Structure 1
Amino acid sequence: MIILAACNSGFQTREQSAISVDTLIDRATDLYEAGHGDAAIRYFDSAFAAKEDITIRDKFYYYHYLYEVNRNMGRSAPERKYIDSMVYVIENTGEEDTMADEYAMANFAKADYLLQDKQYNEAYQYYYKAKASAQKNNDSCALSHYVYKIGIVLYRAERYWKAIPYFKEAYTLFNTCEKNITAVNRLQEITDNIGLCYAKEGAYDTAIVFYDSALSIAHRFRDSFPATKNRLFDMAEAVARGNKGAAYFALGKKDTAEKEMLASIAINMQKDYDNHDAQLTSIRLADLYLTESKFDKARQLLDRVREWQDSNYSQKVALRWNNIMWQYWARQHNDTKAFAYLLRYKTLTDSLDEAEKKLRFIDIDEKVKGLEKQNQINVLQKRDETKKLYLVIAVFLCVTAVTVSFLVYKNYRESKENLRKLQELNDQIVEQKSILQKALDDVAKVGKEKDRILKAVSHDMRSPVNSAMALIDLLLMEKDNLTEDQLAYLNLMRDSCGNALSLTTDLLEVATLSDEKLFKSPVDINALIRSAIELLRFKAAEKSQVIEVSVADEPFAININREKITRVINNLVNNAMKFSPSGSEILVSGAPAADGYNITVKDQGIGIPAEIQDKVFDIFTEAKRFGTSGEQPYGLGLSITRQIVDVHHGRIWFESEPGQGTTFHVFLPLA
C-alpha cells in the first residue's frame, strides 16, 4: 500500500516568532497520537484563542494544524474550510513572498484536495502556483512535495515505471530537508513506494531491497527522537514488513513471507495504529494460507478483517476481502457462497474502476508544464505588446521632439526680448525693495522713538501727579474745616489724579513690554488667582458686585511671571466690573488643560457690540466706552493683557452677546 502522511512543516523551518504555536501543536499532537483526536482539536482551539500577539504566521499554522488533523480523521468539510483559510490568510495580507514556504504548502494542500475531489483542472492551477512559488524561492523541500505528488498520481494510474523516477527525485530533494520526524517518515514512505512500484512490475527482488532500505531508515533515526514518537516508526516498519512479505510470497518464499506478514499484523492491529494496513496484510496472508490449504487459519484472518470492517469500513479493504472470500468458498466447493462474494467483488471493482478511470489518463506534470508554457507565452505576448507600445511612444517622442525644437527656436527669439524686459522689471523690484526697506527702517525708528517718548511722558507725568495727590491728601486731612463743596471738589480732583496715574502706568507698561526681558518662575496659579481676587473684592463692593472664584484647592504650578499674570487677572476683572451693572455677579475660574492652564472671567454686563469686537485688543483703539457707572475709558487694559499673554506664548479670546455679558478666556502653557 502507499502511505499518504501529513505534509506539514517538515519541509521548512519555522521562524522564532512561531515557537509558541509550535508548542501548542506539539501538545495537541500528543493528545491526537494518544487516540484523542477531538480532545486535541478542542485543546488547540482554546489554547490558540487565549494566545496574545497573534501574527499572520501564527494564524497560518493554526489553520494548517486543524487541516491536517481533520484530514487524517477523514473529515472532508472541515478539511476544505481550513485549506481555504490557509490560502486566504496569506493572499489577503499580501504575504506571498515573505511567507513563500507557507504559501507553497497551502497551494499544495488545495491542489491535493481538489485532485482527490476529481476537480482536475482546478487542481492543476494550484499545483502550478505551488511549484512556481517553490521554484521562485529555490525551496527544494517544497518542490519535493510536488515531485512526490506526481509519483503518487502515476502510481494510482498504474504507470509504475514512470512513477519510479519521480519518487527517486522526490527522495533526493527531501533528503536535503531538516531531519525532523515528518521528514524521516516521508523518506521511509518514498522508499517504500519505490519498492511497491517495482513489485507491481514483477521486480520483487529489487522491491525487497527498497523495503529493507525503508526499514533501515526507521532503525537509523529511531533513537534521534523522543520515545513518544516510536509509534510512528513502528507503523512505518509494519507497513514495510507487510509489503516485504507480499514480495516474498510472490517469489514463492512462503515461510519468510508468513513471518514478515505476521510481524506486520502484530504491530498494526494495536489500538491507534494503522489498522487499515493490518487488514490489507491479513488479507494477503489469508491468500497465502489458501494456497497452502490452511483454510482454518485463512478463515480466522478473514473473520477478523470483517469485524474490523464493521467498525472502520474501507472500500478497498472490502474489495480485496470479497475477492479472497469467493476464492475461499470456491476451494471449499461451495459455489453458491463463492458466486455471492464474486458478485460483490465485481460490483466493488466496477465502482472503483469508475472512480479511478479518469485518473489513469491524467499526467499532472505535463498539465503543469503546459500551464508554465502558457504562462511563458503570455509573458512573451505582454513583452510584444510592450515593444509595440514602446514603438508608438518612440514615434510620438520623435514627433514631439520636432515640434518642441520648432517651439524652442520660436520661443528663443521671443525669450531674448522677454529677458530684457524681465531685467528691467528686476531692476525696478530691487529699487522698490530698497525703498520699502528704508520705509521699514523708518517705521522701526519711529516706533522706538514713540516708545522713548511714551516712557519719558509717562515717567515725567508720574511726579507732578503724585505730588498733586499728596497735596490733595493733606487737604483732605483737614476735611472738618472744609465745606461740602470743597470736599467734593477735592475728591473729584483726587479721582482724576488717580485716573491720570493709572493711565501713566499703562503707558509705561505699553512702552516697555516689548523690550523688557520676561523673567518666569514656577508659580501656584490657583493661589495667584485667589490672591488677586481678594484684593479686588473691595473695589467690587463699591458697585455692590460679587466675585465668585472657582479654582482647585490643590497647588498647580506653571512657569510664568507672577507680576504680569497678576496684571492680566486684574485687567480682565476690572474690565468685567466696569461694564457690569451694580449688584451683578462676576465668575472667575481656572482649571488645568492639555499642556497648559485655562483662566476664564465671565460677567453679566452690557457685552461688546459686534462692530467693535475686532478692535478691543488694539492699543489706542477707537472702541472706547464708558462703564456702567460712568467709569472713564482708556483703551489700554485689554491691549496690555494680550501683549502679556503673547510674551507667555499663550492665547486670549472672548465670547460676547450685547446685553448678555462677556466671557474672556486665557490659555497659558505649562512651560
Structure 2
Amino acid sequence: MKSAPISTLLKRRSIPVWCLKWIVLAFILSFNSCDPFPAKDINHQARVDSLLDRADHLNTIQNTNRAKLFLDSAYARFPEAGILDRYRKYQRLLTYYSDRNNTINLVIAEQYIDSLFLLFDREGIKNKYRAEYALAHLNRGDHMQFRKNYDEAYSYYFRGKILIDPIDKCKRNPYTARVASMTYEQKNYAKAAGYYKQAYQEAMECPEGDSFDNLFVNRQGYLSNVAQCYSLLNRLDSAVYFYDLALQFIQQNEAKFPTKQNFIEQARGVIYGNQGAVYRKMRDYKRAIPVLQESIRINSQKNRYNFDAQFSQATLSRVYLEDNQMGKARSEMEKLQASLDTLSNDEALLRLYSVEWQFWDKLNQPGKSLSFLKKYLKLKEVVDRNSRNFDKMDQVLLKLENEHNTELLLKKEELNRLYLLATIAISLLALTIAFLIWLSWKRTRRNLLKLADLNRQIIGRNTQLQTTLTILEKSHQENARLLKVVAHDLRTPVGSISMAADLLMEGELKVRKPEFFLSMIKTSSADALDLIDNLLHSNTLPDKKERVELREFLTSCVDVLQLKAETKKQSIDLKTDAIDVFIDRQKMWRVIANLLTNAIKFSPPGSTITIRTKKSADRVRLMIKDEGIGIPAELKDKVFSPYSEAKRTGTSGEKTFGLGLSISRQIIEAHDGKLWFESQENQGTTFYIEFPVH
C-alpha cells in the first residue's frame, strides 16, 4: 500500500507543516557550520545587477525555468556572494514563480520564501538588513493570504510593518495594501477601498529619490484598486473618478521615468480596459468604445500584457453587442478568437463564449446560441474546479521540498567541506535548538490565543457601548420631536389668549363685552393646561372618550379661532346639524384647531372658510374648505410626514412647523377614522375627517 506523504501525516497529528520546515532548515544550517556564509559579508551590487538583468531577459524571451537555471549556474561560480547578493537572487526568483494560477509555481515560490528567512537566521544579520528582513515577512504574508490563512498573513504583515517603521515610514504602504488585498478577497470592497486610500497616502510620504515602485507603481496601482472596489460596489461615478485620477497621475509623472515607458504604457492600457468596463456598466457606449480600443492597441503589442488586451477585447465585443452594432461585435469576437488561438486564456475564452451565445440568441439562431451556451457552462465548470483544485498539494509540496532541501544541502556542502568532521555533534545541537524553538512557539501561541480572547472581549464591550449610544441618540431625537409637538400644539390656545388680551388692551370693549374675551382666555387656558397634561403622557391615543354634541363642539373651536380669522378679514361659515359623537374632546380639538389654523394661515384676506358636516348611518363626515393657495402636486405625498419638507409660508408671512397634519392624522386614525384632502394649486384645499359616531 502506498504510504501517505509526510506533510499529510503531520496534519493528522495537528503539527503545522511549516514547523517541520523550520526544524529542517535549522538542521541544515547547523549541519555545515556555525556560519554558513562567508566570514566577510561583502556584497557585489554591480555584478548582481548584471546577473539579474540577464535573467530577466531570459525570463521574457524564453521561460522562467531557463532564467532559474542561469541564476543557479551563475551563483554556483559566485561563492563570495554576500547575504544581500543572495537575498536579491531569491527575491527575483520569487517574482518569477509568484503565479497564483499555477500550483507548482506557488509551491516553488514558498521554497524561496523559506530561503529568504534562512538568510536571516542570526540576530546581527536581521539588524543589519532590517528592511530586507521586513520584506521577507511581506512575502510570507502574501503566501499565507493566498492560502486564505488570513490570521497568519496579518501576523506577518504586522511584524513586517513594525520592522520597517523605524527605518523608512514611507514604505509602510505595501503592508497596508496587503491588508486591503485581504479585505478585497473577502469581498468587503467598501473597507478595501478605505485601506487602499490609506496606502496611497502613505506612499505619498516617500521622497522624490525613492524607487520606481514607491514613486510610481504603487501609487497609480492604489488609485486603480480603489476604482475597482467602487466598480464592484456599483458606485460607478466614484469608480470613473478614481480611474481618471490614476490616469492623471501617470500623465503627470511618466516623464520622470524614461526607462520604464514599457511598464507605464501597460499600466495605462490596463486602466483604460477597466475604465471601459465601467462605462459599459453605465451604458455609456460612446465613452466605452474608444478607451477599450486604446487598451487593446497598447497591450496587444509584443512583450506587453496580452492577457489584459484579451479581456478588453471581450468587453468591447459585449459593448458592440449591447449597442446593436452586430457587425462590429462579430468582427471583434473573431479577433479575440484569433488571439486565443495563439495565447491560451481560459478566463478570456469564458467571456468570449458568454458573448457568443448572447450574440446568436439576439440574431434568433437558437442552435448556435445553445452550442456556445453549452461551451460556456462546460468551461465555467472547469475554471471553477481548477480554482479550487488543491487535492494533490501535499504530494507536490513533499516532492519540491525534498528537491529544494537537496539543493540547499549540496550548496552547503560545497561551501563547508572543512566542517564534515563536526557533523554529528553540530546536528545534535541543532535538534536541541529546534526543540527549544518548538517549545517557545507553543508558549507564543498560547499568548496569542489569550490576546485574541482579550481582543474579542474588548470588541464586545465596544459593541455594547455603541448600542447604548444609539439608544441615547434615539431618546434625544424623540425628546426633540416631543418638544416640537408641544410647541406646535400650544401655539393655538396661547395665541388666542394673547390675541384676546391685545384686543382688551386696545379697547375693543365697544364691539364685544369683556366677558367674551375673559371667557376666551379662560377656555384657551384650560385647553392649554389639558394639552400639557396630555402631552406629558405623550401619546395620540384617545384615553378620555365621552359623548359630545358636535355642533356645540365645533362652535367652541370656531369661537377660539374667530379672532385670528378676523385679523386677516376672513370669515368662518359653520353650518352643521346637532349630532352626538363619542370622542376624546381634547385630542379632537387639537385636530380641528390644526385644520382651521392652516386654513386661516394659507387663505388670502377677505376669503371664507367653510365648515360642514354630513351624517350617515353610523359615521359622520366633517369638511373644512378654504379658498387659499392650495397644495402643489409635488408636495401632496409629503404633507402628513412628521419630518416633512412641505413647509411653506402663510399668505401673511406666517411660519410653518410641519407637524400639525402628522399629529392630526394619528389622532383621527386612533379614533378608527381617516383624514384626507382634495386640493388644486391657487384654488383652495378641502380637508375631510370621517369617524364613527359611537
Greater relative contact order structure (CA < 8 Å, 6+ sep): 2
TM-score bucket (shorter structure): 0.3 to 0.5
TM-score (norm 1): 0.47
Return the TM-score normalized by structure 2.
0.46
Name the larger-Rg structure.
Answer: 1
